Structure 1
Amino acid sequence: MKSIHTDLAPKALGPYSQGISCDGWFYSSGQIALGQDGQMVGEDIETQARQVFANLGAVLGAAGLSFVQVVKVTVYLKDLEDFGKLNAIYAEAFGEHKPARSCVQVARLPKDALVEIEVIATRS
């Protein structure tokens, strides 16, 4: 098992890793729209979602992976009314690749983010 860290994504807000590689699998921690300085980026779902995908891309890259190796995505939205807007940004990030996905509305996210996303990827 190997802890993954990159300075190209925000530091973890608590006692956890940005991601873990284990037995050919990669598990990311949830990413919110924090910039490298630890401050929230944007106040709208589009800006925050783009930052979340930038963070995920950086953590995946640090693990030697990319979005095409993602097999499962979990999306936490503050408001399901943002589902359509999120899907547009999601499609930009994944292109033709369509991993399995869950999307749920939650009462609150860290730092009052509008979206948090975590991924599972494989090296095979």
Structure 2
Amino acid sequence: MPSIELINAPGLPVPAGHYSHATRAGNLVCVSSQLPVRPDGTHTSDLPFEAQAEQTLQNVRTVLVLEAAGASLQNCIEVTAYLVGVEHWKDFNAIYARHFGDWKPARAVVPVTALHYGYLVEISARAWVE
């Protein structure tokens, strides 16, 4: 069994609950669900869906890229997105494609009725790092 490293990314607020931004076990990095919280800890729940989706994907990128986990979005092997309202699916898909480019990891998009703090999107990811 590999050792498990707890990762808290510089540039993001300290997690509000009993969790880390990510964990790494060997080559597998699991990113905790990210909400569209700004790096300074302020909320974006008053912003439109598109702005929230951009901030959330940037938060996932920050956990992976800032040498916190030594990965990038192109290391993602699985992504799960929770969207309040299925009507945001098309916009989410376009924003997601812009961030991931040609890379298409396994993905689930789950419509939900509500998220914490009134947010419209939450994203978790798993990445493989050599």
TM-score normalised by the chain length of structure 2: 0.91
Q: Which residue of 2 aligns with 1:68?
A: 74
Q: TM-score, normalised by structure 1?
A: 0.95
4+ aligned runs moved over 3 Å, structure 1: none
The alignment of Structure 1 onto Structure 2 pairs a total of residues equal to 124
Could you tell me which runs of 5 or more consecutive residues in structure 2 were left unpaired when the two chains were aligned. Answer: none
Q: Once superposed, what is the RMSD of the aligned Cα atoms?
A: 1.1
- Amino acid of the residue matched to residue 101 of structure 2? G
Q: Show the 5 A alignment for 1:43-122.
A: 43-61=47-65, 62-122=68-128
Work out the CA distance in 2 between the residues paired with 1:107 and 1:11. Answer: 26
Larger radius of gyration: 2
Question: Residue 23 of structure 2: SS of its match in structure 1?
Answer: strand
User: Tell me, what secondary structure is at the counterpart of 1:16?
Assistant: coil
In structure 2, what residue type is equivalent to 1:123?
A: V
Cα distance in 1 for residues equivalent to 2:10 and 2:106: 28
Q: 1:45 Cα deviation (Å)?
A: 1.1
Q: Does structure 1 conserve the Cα–Cα contact (< 8 Å) formed by 2:12 and 2:40?
A: no
